[in-house]
Structure 1
Amino acid sequence: MSSPPLMTYLHHAPLLFTTPTDPLAAFGPLVARRTPEDFDSRPYESFSLAPVTPTIGAEISGLRLGGDLPDETLAELRRALLEWKVLFFRDQAIDRAAHRDFAARWGELETHPFFKYTQPGQSAGDVATLAKDVKTAAAENIWHNDVTWHTHPSFAAVLRAVEIPPVGGDTLWADMGAAYDLLPDDLKARIAPLLAEHDWMQSFGRAMPQDAIDLLRPKFMPVQHPVVRVIPETGRRVLFVNMAFTQRIVGLPEAESNALLTMLYRHVQRPEFQVRLRWQPNTVAFWDNRSCQHYANSDYYPARRVMDRISIVGERPVGIAR
């Protein structure tokens, strides 16, 4: 039997999660696998790991972050990152140098081309200082993967708390593997071959002077990535569209593209896919940018919040082999 046409889903999009007849309305248990069935699930020996939710987020203890961690420990951390998507480290009284040294163990460090125009207080090319206060309000409260407008979006990021507000300013991550797994099978088949266009003009471009746009636009043109991305180490399929940078589904009429993206965005925002970090002094978060989206709560204005983020260059996204 052939699957229903895409518009069978799309005409329900404005009503997602409101009625039992919704194609994506799931009531009761909503649990996805944390990893593929053949994932190496041996216990970790180099550190202690405490899950925060069933599929995403784990606290790691017993390590001090830096560039001198043994290769065996890094291998276990990589496995933990693939399993839990985001790792939290408390009581890491480290400086910027140790932060950079730890991040550099994972690959080439990324230089963000736009932050010097949009984020005041930048002092290093490979460290993005996210300083928010009464003068510079936070604007990262939108679900996104970092730099998907790049041909090679970030593999991962390491975020270190420099100064936190008295209350608020939590960060949330959402598991895009769980989100994909819990789509209906016929909708998975529909989106499997699709590509989406990603761009920075409607986000960073809005906050940049025209001369900077004219300089950088030829270097960073719109790019296309698969709607369903495959994580190379595990074969895990993840949704790879986000509200900040995805512009359209390639080859679909505008109305159909907008409706499909709206439906997927509302789906990935389900709390069952999320983990929430309440920052404390000397907390570090390390996440796989390929397999999860994140959202920085902007509920602390006009208090001050300062974070240092270092990102690691990733590979070009690959979709499902057809």
Structure 2
Amino acid sequence: MGYQTIEVRKLTPAIGAEIFGVDLARPLGNQVFQEIHDALMDNLVIFFRDQELTHDQHKAFGRRFGELHIHPTSIRTESEHPEILVIKADEHSKFVAGEEWHSDVSCDPEPPMGSILYMKQLPPEGGGNTLFANMYRAYDTLSAPIQRLCEGLIAVHDGAQVYGGRFGQKPKEGGFPRNEHPVVRTHPVTGRKALYVNRNFTTHIVGLRKSESDALLEMLYRHSETPEFQCRFAWQPNSVAFWDNRAAMHHAMWDYFPHKRLGYRVTVKGDKPFYRAQGRI
């Protein structure tokens, strides 16, 4: 695809691209916005370097792509900016956000469309990279019989095992989100099929015995984590990553303990995952 207002440099053939020639602190013109959107659809995750953003500018950039999502726990957000999720690890951390492969908040009834992470502080000796995986490619490279099997299945995504278990957070009234989504979802923009299960939130497949569900999910997880489906982003201070949760998973490397890593995430609301057997949207 040709771009007129931005420069797009792919990280790998499978996923990821760096975007040059845009200042995210400034309001986006319609053509720039459309080209950034197109680059996201083409590459599933896009990266920007050397950005200086206030919380308000960060939120304004996110709102160009849709209404902003507020995290279901809302505990680790900045009080004046509930749409901003603080991503922090230091010498006191026992767990860090994102250290399992996942799609953000897939336990919600309408999981986020995308996430925009702005990194401010990084470990002095390196580390803290983020890996991203192409879930279109994960689906496309399954054998035809396994594709047909997965297309008819529904999986449960439960926030309790992450927020209540690992992080020990208190649920809001009504408990942590827990919802059922298709194992293969159709992307609402591209019409392509993507695997939609992840180690963080998916607990089991509806209608299968536990042994069957565990075995199939483990196979799908291992397949989705194939290195050839991935890119790896080496953060620098003031870098931004914007990923499409509908067709990509990510994994944050925690290889820098006891050093500090600090960033801020804005998340864009999505819609209910669905599966459509034939045709494009």
Q: TM-score range, shorter-chain basis?
A: over 0.9
Q: How many residues align?
A: 275
Q: Distance in 2 between matches of 1:63 and 1:138?
A: 35
Equivalent pair of 2:45/2:243 in contact (CA under 8 Å) = yes
Equivalent pair of 1:192/1:228 in contact (CA under 8 Å) = yes
Task: State the match for 2:81 in structure 1.
Answer: 124
Q: Distance in 1 between matches of 2:73 and 2:61?
A: 24
The secondary structure found in structure 2 opposite 1:150 is coil
Question: 1:271: how far off?
Answer: 0.6
Task: State the match for 1:158 in structure 2.
Answer: 116
Q: Distance in 2 between matches of 1:280 and 1:65?
A: 16
| CA spacing shift, 1:310–1:120, aligned 2, 3 Å | closer
Equivalent pair of 1:192/1:320 in contact (CA under 8 Å) = no
Matched, 1:263 2:219: yes
Q: Distance in 1 between matches of 2:188 and 2:77?
A: 36
The AA in structure 2 aligned to 1:161 is M
Q: Percent identity?
A: 39
Q: Distance in 2 between matches of 1:231 and 1:159?
A: 22
- Moved beyond 2 Å, runs of 4+: 119-124, 136-140, 212-216
Q: Distance in 2 between matches of 1:169 and 1:122?
A: 26
Task: State the match for 1:78 in structure 2.
Answer: 37
Matching residue within 109, 121, 143 for 2:68: 109
Matched, 1:135 2:95: no
| CA spacing shift, 1:143–1:72, aligned 2, 3 Å | same
Task: State the match for 1:171 in structure 2.
Answer: 130
Equivalent pair of 2:187/2:194 in contact (CA under 8 Å) = yes
Equivalent pair of 1:229/1:318 in contact (CA under 8 Å) = yes
Q: Which runs of 5+ in 2 are unaligned?
A: none
The secondary structure found in structure 2 opposite 1:262 is helix
The secondary structure found in structure 1 opposite 2:68 is coil
Equivalent pair of 2:102/2:198 in contact (CA under 8 Å) = yes
Larger radius of gyration: 1
Matching residue within 283, 286, 303 for 2:259: 303
Residues 199-234 of structure 1: per-residue CA shift (max 9 Å, x gap): 11111011335xx337241xx552110000000211
RMSD, aligned α-carbons: 1.6
Q: Which runs of 5+ in 1 are unaligned?
A: 1-41
The secondary structure found in structure 1 opposite 2:128 is coil
Q: Distance in 2 between matches of 1:268 and 1:172?
A: 12
TM-score, length of structure 2 as denominator length: 0.94
TM-score, length of structure 1 as denominator length: 0.82
Equivalent pair of 2:121/2:237 in contact (CA under 8 Å) = yes
The AA in structure 2 aligned to 1:308 is Y
The AA in structure 1 aligned to 2:88 is A
Q: Distance in 2 between matches of 1:79 and 1:213?
A: 37
Matching residue within 230, 241, 250 for 1:285: 241
Task: State the match for 2:181 in structure 1.
Answer: 225
Higher strand residue share: 2
Task: State the match for 1:318 in structure 2.
Answer: 274
Q: Distance in 2 between matches of 1:277 and 1:214?
A: 34
